[in-house]
Amino acid sequence: MGPVKLAIVGGGPSAFYVASRLLSLLPHSNASSPPLKIHLFDRLWAPHGLVRYGVAPDHPEVKNCTNKFDTAAADPRFRFFGNVNIGNAPLSSIPHALTVPLSSLYEHYTHLLFASGCTIPTLHSAVPPSAHCIPALSLVHWYTQHPSRPAPPSLDKITHVTLIGNGNVSLDIARILLTSPSVLAKYDVPQPVLEVLSRSAVRHVSIVGRRGPLEAAFTMKELREMINLPEASMVPIEPSLLSPPSSTQLTRQQSRVLDLLRKGSKNPPGSTSKSWSLDFFRSPTGLTPPSPSSPSAKLSLAHTALDPTTNRAIPTGETSALSTSLVVTSLGFRADPETSFYDPGLTHLRSMAGRIISSSGNALKNIYSSGWAANGAKGVLASTMMDAYAVADTILSDITPGSDTVETTPTSTTREVGISSADTLNSDPHPENPPPEINDGLKAGLVTQYKDWKAIDAEEIRRGELLGKERERMNWEEARAFLSQSS
């Protein structure tokens, strides 16, 4: 067995779970383990991806997985390089990220894993982005202080928010908007975000879904949190929507959802200054901006019903209009189309059982994908971990091949968009060194390492303690200045 030098593109949970699994299955102390090095590259300067920049701040328990990631990062065979964009062009959304071409990874590594996630929001054709319609990702990245720095919403001028889509992200946003900043202040919510929330004029949040309560994408936990909001009440749902036909076989989850919705919110309707509604069987068809005669935007909605044969939403012919200040589309995510091996039909990378597949259907030698990059934007952290472990096992089977070895094709023999014949992984790279661009970035203070992150992590927690909260986040400029002063 020759030395294994694995490059991982992406620094979220899937990437860390794969690394952790490989490091544990090939222990450093075992003389029979092949020499192993894992270099993890992330376009963000801080690690952990959605755990830091996607998890709602009032769900701190979800972030406990970072303890496992810290353990993996402490292994001397692991290195993290943050603020590094692996691609052929600079990122306009994160201009300070160092761009390194993918060809550099081919030149310096024996194996390559794409764990780059799904970073592009899915938009709605009837309500494209505008001054009155934004993707949910913009709000999530605002309240998590993502390095892309989306503009804060003008909440002091917004009284009614309409969310299109009823998954957990929608409920996260609704909960943040309807929770008092005094409650959120103890969590990982940056002070500038709290200041905007303190001026919020939002009084109602509508959550629109094209199908019914049995098909809603939110989890019980998220729904229960909405039901129990201390300062908001739920608009009662039409009872007929909560009474499925007797022939319908309900799952345990569906039965519990209906029971909760029948009971309604802890606060009686109309007893609070803030409210929210679940508007089922509605699908947007257009958005009319405000005018001098109509100060609110008008969201046109087609009424829908379920097609009994396909379970898809179909229009009934009825329509209505909803006056709203802001529409937020929360319809899922797709991988970046600029990523190598992206399949537009799948909206994520072409892969099978953890292996990247060529356009002709061949498994490519020593090239893998995991997490949302491989499977699309679905699943929670537990399913991400199980998928990552399976991909790690696939990589291990190639490192220590047996009788069930899978036949693979070298990249150089394929004709892939963005891949040249020279893009073949190096069977004998330098055992330690990253690409030279990384070393130059480290010298210039542009690239972060995991020890840098741990220093920043401790400082953010210290700053948070002074304010009586979980942490106070740094932006890139603050982090870079702090690191330069600490060195």
- Sorted by where each begins, the domain ranges of the chain are 4-119+334-448, 123-331
Compute the Cα dihedral for 182, 186, 189, 192 and give only its sign: positive
351 carries a ligand binding annotation: no
379 carries a ligand binding annotation: yes
| Tens digit of each residue's pLDDT (9 = 90 or more) over 100-133 | 999 999 999 999 999 999 999 999 999 999 999 9
Class in CATH terms, 4-119+334-448: alpha beta
Say yes or no to pLDDT of 410 above 70: no
Average pLDDT over the chain, rounded to an integer: 94
Percent of the chain with pLDDT over 70: 95
291 carries a ligand binding annotation: no
Q: How far apart are CA 270 and CA 323, in angstroms?
A: 19
30 carries a ligand binding annotation: no
116 carries a ligand binding annotation: no
* Residue listed under structure tokens 């044969």: 309
462 carries a ligand binding annotation: no
Q: pLDDT grade, residue 403 (50/70/90)?
A: very low
Task: Please say whether the beta carbons of 189 and 261 come within 8 A.
Answer: no
Pick the CATH number of 123-331 from 3.40.50.300, 3.30.70.1400, 3.50.50.60, 3.40.50.11710: 3.50.50.60
Sequence letter at residue 433: N
Q: How far apart are CA 299 and CA 143, in angstroms?
A: 25
pLDDT the model gives residue 423: 72
pLDDT the model gives residue 486: 82
445 carries a ligand binding annotation: no
Say yes or no to pLDDT of 408 above 70: no
Q: How far apart are CA 376 and CA 357, in angstroms?
A: 15
pLDDT the model gives residue 355: 97
Strand partners, 288: 298
| Tens digit of each residue's pLDDT (9 = 90 or more) over 59-104 | 999 999 999 999 999 999 999 999 999 998 999 999 999 999 999 9
Give the H or E element holding residue 104: helix 102-108
Q: How far apart are CA 135 and CA 124, in angstroms?
A: 9
438 carries a ligand binding annotation: no
4 carries a ligand binding annotation: no
pLDDT the model gives residue 29: 79
168 carries a ligand binding annotation: yes
372 carries a ligand binding annotation: yes
Residue 64, classified by CB atoms within 10 Å of its CB into exposed (0-12), middle (13-18) or buried (19+), is: exposed
243 carries a ligand binding annotation: no
